[in-house]
Amino acid sequence: MATSEKDLMAACFAFFAVFLAVTAGVPAPASAASEDAELIRWLTPEELKALPPQQKPILFDFTASWCRPCQLLDKEVFRDKHLAKFISEKFVTVRVWDRRREDGHNPELVDKLKQLYGINSFPTLVITDVQGVPLVRTSGYGPGMQQLIYQVLLDGLREFKKANKEKRKP
């Protein structure tokens, strides 16, 4: 394990109670807005479509403002400054807000993404390659699951590197 990964793992254990944030600069729905500073620059699905291809895996966070486990994931994972830095450096981050309960429907792109990745519960994290091919996913969140999420992130990075190596083979 690389030194930076060891440092991150140590930070993860030390800061279990705090997590990451939502869109730095991309407003969340008003009911999900937070007074805390946002540590991750979450893209919207529309922004992802307009973004030139990146050489990093994509981390989709499928969430809803009414979802208590989503709020806990945000608080305990996405607001931790060490994890937020790690995630921001290693992933293109996209937050997909489900608004069906509040608005009676979702934007078309949100429904397409939910269907593409088989999303039927919140929160769900999906890590994909640059073409959107799923590599790793996890659904649900509860107290004490920070280490599991960290492991999912590491697994996603490993799968991304493995897939890229296989694509480069002659």
- How many Å apart are CA 57 and CA 127, to the nearest integer? 7
At 8-31, the pLDDT tens digits run 444 333 332 222 223 233 344 433
**Is the predicted pLDDT of residue 1 greater than 80, yes or no?**
no
Task: Let me know the angle formed at the C-alpha of 119 by 19 and 156, rounded to the nearest 5 degrees.
Answer: 55
Cis peptide before 134 (omega within 30 of 0): no
Task: State residue 37's pLDDT score.
Answer: 61
* pTM (2 d.p.): 0.77
Shortest CA distance to 160 belongs to which of 134, 142, 137? 134
Structural contact between residues 20 and 79, judged by C-beta atoms closer than 8 angstroms: yes
At 62-85, the pLDDT tens digits run 999 999 999 999 999 999 999 999
Torsion angle of alpha carbons 14, 64, 115, 38, nearest 10°?
-50
Task: State residue 109's pLDDT score.
Answer: 96
**Is the predicted pLDDT of residue 36 greater than 90, yes or no?**
no
Distances (CA, A) of 149 to 32, 106, 165, 169: 21, 27, 24, 31
Pairing relation of β-strands 92-97 and 58-63? parallel
Task: State residue 34's pLDDT score.
Answer: 44
Structural contact between residues 133 and 150, judged by C-beta atoms closer than 8 angstroms: no
65 phi/psi in degrees, rounded to 5: -65, -30
Right CATH number for 3-26+37-168 from 3.40.1380.10, 3.50.30.30, 3.40.30.10, 3.30.360.10? 3.40.30.10
Mean pLDDT of all residues in 114-138: 96
What 3-state class would DSSP assign to 86?
A: helix
- How many Å apart are CA 77 and CA 83, to the nearest integer? 7
Task: State residue 148's pLDDT score.
Answer: 93
